[in-house]
Structure 1
Amino acid sequence: MRIRASLAAVTMSGAVALTALLAPAAQAADSPKIPQGFTSKPSVGRNAPADEKQGDIQITKVTDNANKDVVVGLGKKTFNIYVTATAPSGIYTADAMLWHGTSLDSDVDGVLYTDTGDTNATCDNWSATSATCKITITAVPGTDLYDSALNGKWNVSVLAVANNGDYVETDVYKNRWVKRAASFSGFNAAPEPVTKGKTITVTGTLNRASWSYMKYYGYGSQSVQLQFKPANSSTYSTVKTIKSSSTGYLKTTVTASVDGTWRFHYAGNANSSVADAYDYVDVR
């Protein structure tokens, strides 16, 4: 949706409303739309120069989800994007979105953005020329994240508008990983209590959310660390690494020595989140 011509033609005196120019388009799960305020053109790479710019406005910093992976299970996930910008006339507003694909012009299969009817940015003006604007986005599995294949690397696109109508947009300011939530079920270290020198059996199942079917399924063939933290320590040490079965099931044994907490630790990957499960065992 190319709106740059209309945006550039606007003459502003102070803060003129930009609702019509920044209002997001309706999004269909099978055909994601690019919100108005962003040009439809090929992405140009991480930290690339601005794709569209008018005037002396600059985006100086973007922090999305506290610079952490966006982890989504089966419920809604709300996170913030902070856009800091500067311009001689001051900052009027900003907007941001995450998009999945290889080209903002021709290959977009997922978009996460605010859909409140206009940009919902709230801006803190640090000076007459600079501001940081917060944009809140809610990702809905099964709708926005309508297919598990959307897990992985997304692109962060940002837009800032000055009080005098100057603007800057970058299609790919940075990347952000949107991951399917992983978790353990049925984790147990037994028996409890246990006699020193006897065998402890540790079991559990590694699961991962499916956005396609809105269920958790066993996550097979994944490396999981069995770790231990003695009762008088704050540090976990890896005892062994095992692999989950085709259904995500895990089972291993160790020898009881001292009181402490046993943990299955899954480190995650490019598509799935970190997961941990704990059980304290009293050794007598």
Structure 2
Amino acid sequence: MRIRASVAVVTGALALTGLAVPMAHADDAKPGTWPSARSSASAFSAGGPTFSKVAVSGGKAVAIGTTAKKTVTVSFTASDPQGIYTADAALWRGKNLNKADSILFSDDFEAKCGAGTTPTCKATFTIDPALDLWDKEAGTWKVALYAMDEEANETEKASASTLNIVRAAKLTVNAAPEPVKKNKTITITGALTRASWDSGRYVGYGAQSVKLQYLKKGSNAYTTVKTIKSDSRGNLKTTVKATADGYYRYVFAGTSSTAGSTPVADYIDVR
């Protein structure tokens, strides 16, 4: 089972709400409990903290490969006239936070907040693809926030923002033969692969539109020559006429589940 590290004593907001064993995947084991799932009838108060200025990963999608861990930061302002005692964030997928299909908790199970009545809080998530992700989870994750003030009034916001976590992609290109005589046909091959979090390796990404672009030697702008599709194994192949020295590259724009990719271009010598 892919489960985040368990701890004997969990500090911060999640400990206050009875969470003892945080789980990365609700489909692997019984999920942990976010604040609103407690049996306590006095869980939240109308006078609890409010949230604003939520920022997640600089507003950009996070592309994750097969081995390298990625760090995501969620920052937000928690406001309360009584001051903020503790706060936290979580990343989750599903229709309902407390029955989430998957949930990731912050590294310290508590955001780091400044002093005062309107502190900026930051929660850090170190995401390990080998432990925390399945292929089916690529796409949009929701961001939940929690805070408690100094008078023990609590607030939870199940969907305060979103974060796109996508599978990293790789793209290759090779133009041949070279050198080549002017106006002769050259073949441009390549391959489009993407990270599989399930298998821990890169796999072919088939039936995807990829642009072939050309940069003439001495120019400073690429032009799109044509758009082709990768085959069932992610392979790319097309032909063009060689008219002048220059660079060829493939460009993949990406999809809702997979990051875009542009390889180093391949130079062709035309004689």
Q: What is the TM-score normalised by the length of structure 1?
A: 0.78
- CA separation in 1, counterparts of 2:205 and 2:13? 46
SS at match of 1:276: coil
Work out which of the residue numbers 87, 90, 103 in structure 1 matches 2:83: 90
- CA separation in 2, counterparts of 1:157 and 1:238? 42
**Matched AA of 2:113:** C
Pick closer, same or farther for the CA change 1:192–1:135 going to 2, 3 Å: farther
SS at match of 1:184: strand
- CA separation in 2, counterparts of 1:193 and 1:52? 72
1:58-81: CA deviation from partner (whole Å, max 9, x where unpaired): 211211111111221112222111
1:39 is aligned to 2:36: yes
- Please, which runs of 5 or more residues in structure 1 have no aligned partner? 1-16, 42-50
Pick closer, same or farther for the CA change 1:226–1:212 going to 2, 3 Å: same
Query: Which aligned pairs between 1:259-278 and structure 2 lie closer than 5 A?
Result: 259-278=245-264
Aligned-pair Cα RMSD in Å: 2.6
Query: Which aligned pairs between 1:64-83 and structure 2 lie closer than 5 A?
Result: 64-75=56-67, 76-83=69-76
SS at match of 1:278: coil
- CA separation in 1, counterparts of 2:195 and 2:140? 17
Residue in 2 that maps onto 1:58: 50
How many residues were matched structurally?
A: 251
1:129 is aligned to 2:124: no
Residue in 1 that maps onto 2:190: 204
- CA separation in 2, counterparts of 1:92 and 1:230? 61
1:179 is aligned to 2:166: yes
Give the conservation status (yes or no) of the 8 Å contact 1:181–1:273: yes
Pick closer, same or farther for the CA change 1:198–1:35 going to 2, 3 Å: farther
Query: Which aligned pairs between 1:236-247 and structure 2 lie closer than 5 A?
Result: 236-247=222-233
Q: What is the TM-score normalised by the length of structure 2?
A: 0.81
- Please, which runs of 5 or more residues in structure 2 have no aligned partner? 1-11
> 1:214 Cα deviation (Å)?
1.5
Work out which of the residue numbers 101, 109, 113 in structure 1 matches 2:105: 113
Identity over aligned residues, as a percent?
41
- CA separation in 1, counterparts of 2:21 and 2:231? 44
Give the conservation status (yes or no) of the 8 Å contact 2:75–2:121: yes
> 1:115 Cα deviation (Å)?
4.1
Q: Which has the higher strand share?
A: 1
Work out which of the residue numbers 159, 167, 174 in structure 1 matches 2:146: 159
